[in-house]
């Protein structure tokens, strides 16, 4: 991931909760997906889009691919930050780049790329696609973070 | 993934549990990581290795990278299978290829590659590596599925 | 709980999954609520009622009170059974008595009483109540399990 | 629960995370147990006791009984507070009274009483009991909260 990457959205510091740790005493690998999703949904809200409202209105945002690199494990007692950047990935997909840092020293714990799309009601049934509202926001975000 | 891939290990059919579904009515993306982990740990037991026992004996198996392609969502009421194949990935890593199928029609729902390593007690502190016991099993598995 | 209690519904044996264990190496207290819910929903399906379908048709079954006695902890490698009995609890509530047993020796691990109701669409908005369909089943179940 | 109850410990406001909501669109009943546990462990840390450290030192704190009254459901987008009070319950048990409030209007969503004990290494093997350290804190807490 480019050193110069900017991270327009940050969530945290959040506490690791003890029930999120497994019998090795570290946060379970699936739980980071929870953290990442929570940060994406907060990021969407900052963009004016609400995951639950979108569902109610007939548009489901879904993950189509997740790539997650686990660098170091979070542990009981740790706090963490999730930094997020969103952009388009082709015509009908969005891509989130996300990192999870330990709050105390901003050490990189997890790096992820999450790609997704929307599932929309159309004349031909439910089809993949991005709602106009989200396309606009993604185009805007691309420009803002714009490099 | 190669059509000819054989899958020496299968877990299931297992029920989707309703608490695993999110407000869209589909299994949440992080939950598939739970399914995959459960199948890996069952696969290890078939190989004579127990995740919890390994931890007790000072060897923690950890995931270092997950790549997950979400093809179709599982829903409330579905049953599923997890098929798993394990091999080496370089000197100190193992790699699991895994697929999740809907049991009713064996439709492919999720495809994943999970790479990991062991963290071992050594003279120089805790270091990444594969315990001999696991190396032997992986070499054996490579040959069995071999070919 | 009465020794003579009969348990018309049983789910299992199910595997404890390692991600369900916390840093103490035992199944986390909240996870048993997951197990119990899964067993209740399977029990409802045996009665001809589907939790997800009920939601789609405008009736949400909700838990209003849970009492859970934790006798012994399940651990990594254990299998378990969940036995369930359902009856009415007053005019608009149902009550599930449930036990979780370790499969290997049928040792009692958890005992629970879960009370709930339905939330229905009515002329006056959404109100607590039991859908006729469920009332019929509960009355039937009461008679079958034979008082 | 007594109107005059004081709540010496508060956690929050915390966000409901969308993955914590089930297909009814409300926080799943088991998830509140997660919230309550997290608040108890934070409360213990305020008392100078760390759940993970206690485990490392051979003392496991365990829940023996949970009573939970679900008044109203939390939903996607809600924030909540958890208020907690701890005291002794007999010679070898502690009891937490806890409430979960929606942050926006401090409406009562969940009320709970969680009883537990410690499991200690003793000459006769592992036995239930409260470590001296926790007993002291509980006696202190009882006096502080002034009952």
Choose the closest CB to C37 out of D29, D55, D66.
D29
If interface means Cβ-Cβ distance under 8 Å, which residues of chain B face chain A?
23-24, 26, 28-31, 33-34, 37, 52, 55, 60, 62-70, 73
Chain B / chain C CB contacts < 8 angstroms: 44
Place B147 in a pLDDT band, splitting at 50, 70 and 90. very low
pLDDT in tens, B12-29: 999 999 999 999 999 999
Full domain range(s) for residue C127? 9-144
- By CB atoms closer than 10 A (0-12, 13-18, 19+), residue C83 is buried
Yes or no, beta carbons of C70 and D60 under 8 Å apart: no
Rg of chain B, C-alpha, whole Å: 16
* Chain D closest-CA separation from residue A42 CA (Å): 9
- By CB atoms closer than 10 A (0-12, 13-18, 19+), residue B4 is exposed
Q: Is residue D42 part of a domain?
A: yes
* Packed helices B29-46 and A29-46: angle between N→C axes, nearest 10 degrees: 170
What pLDDT was estimated at residue D142?
67
Q: Is residue C4 part of a domain?
A: no
- From the list A22, A53, A69, A136, the catalytic residue is A22
Tokens read off for C57:
């048709």
pLDDT in tens, C120-138: 988 888 999 998 888 888 8
Is pLDDT above 50 for C57? yes
Structural domain tally of chain A? 1
Is pLDDT above 80 for C143? no
Place B139 in a pLDDT band, splitting at 50, 70 and 90. confident
What pLDDT was estimated at residue B5?
65
Mean local confidence (pLDDT), C40-55 = 93
Tokens read off for A24:
């090795």
Q: Is residue D1 part of a domain?
A: no
Yes or no, beta carbons of A38 and D21 under 8 Å apart: no
Q: Is residue D4 part of a domain?
A: no
Q: Is residue A41 part of a domain?
A: yes
Q: Cα separation of D27 and D75, whole Å?
A: 6
Q: DSSP code of C16? A: P
If interface means Cβ-Cβ distance under 8 Å, which residues of chain D face chain C?
23-24, 26, 28-31, 33-34, 37, 52, 55, 60, 62-70, 73
Tokens read off for B111:
């495809």
B60 tagged catalytic: no
Q: How many Cα atoms within 13 Å fall on the side-chain side of residue B121?
A: 6
Choose the closest CB to A28 out of C19, C25, C30.
C19
Is pLDDT above 60 for B54? yes
* H helix or E strand, kind and range, residue D66: strand D59-70
CATH of residue D124: 3.10.129.10
Yes or no, beta carbons of D64 and C70 under 8 Å apart: yes
Q: Is residue D2 part of a domain?
A: no
Q: Is residue B147 part of a domain?
A: no
pLDDT in tens, C100-115: 999 999 999 999 999 9
Mean local confidence (pLDDT), A115-143 = 86
Q: Is residue B131 part of a domain?
A: yes
pLDDT in tens, chain D (147 residues): 554 569 999 999 999 999 999 999 999 999 999 999 999 999 999 999 999 999 988 899 999 999 999 999 999 999 999 999 999 998 899 999 999 999 999 999 999 999 999 999 888 889 999 988 888 888 876 665 544
Choose among B21, B14, B63: nearest CA to B35: B14
Q: Give A15 or C90, the one with higher predicted confidence.
A: A15
Q: Kindly give, in sequence order, each residue whose CB lies less than 8 Å from that of residue B52, ignoring residues fewer than 6 positions away.
A: A23, C18, C21, C25, C75, C76, C77
Q: Which positions in chain B touch C41 (Cβ < 8 Å)? A: 17-18
Q: Which positions in chain A touch B26 (Cβ < 8 Å)? A: 60, 62
pLDDT in tens, A2-22: 545 699 999 999 999 999 999
Q: What is the ipTM of this complex?
A: 0.92
Q: Which positions in chain A touch B23 (Cβ < 8 Å)? A: 52, 55
Does residue C13 have a cis bond before it (omega within 30 degrees)? yes
Q: DSSP code of C136? A: H
pLDDT in tens, A17-73: 999 999 999 999 999 999 999 999 999 999 999 999 999 888 999 999 999 999 999
Q: Cα separation of C121 and B137, whole Å?
A: 58
Mean local confidence (pLDDT), A130-139 = 86
Is pLDDT above 60 for A144? no
Tokens read off for C4:
């003579």
* H helix or E strand, kind and range, residue A117: strand A107-122
């Amino acid at each position: 991931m480019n050193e110069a990457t900017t991270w327009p959205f940050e969530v945290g510091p959040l506490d690791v909760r003890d029930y999120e740790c497994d019998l090795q005493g570290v946060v379970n690998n699936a739980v980071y997906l929870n953290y990442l999703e929570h940060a994406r949904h907060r990021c969407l809200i900052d963009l004016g889009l609400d995951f639950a409202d979108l569902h109610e209105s007939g548009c489901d945002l879904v993950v189509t691919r997740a790539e997650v690199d686990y660098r170091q494990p979070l542990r009981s007692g740790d706090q963490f930050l999730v930094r997020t950047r969103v952009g388009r990935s082709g015509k009908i997909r969005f891509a989130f780049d996300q990192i999870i840092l330990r709050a105390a020293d901003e050490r990189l714990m997890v790096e992820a790329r999450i790609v997704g799309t929307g599932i929309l009601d159309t004349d031909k049934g439910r089809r993949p696609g991005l709602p106009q509202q989200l396309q606009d926001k993604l185009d805007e975000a691309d420009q803002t973070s714009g490099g």
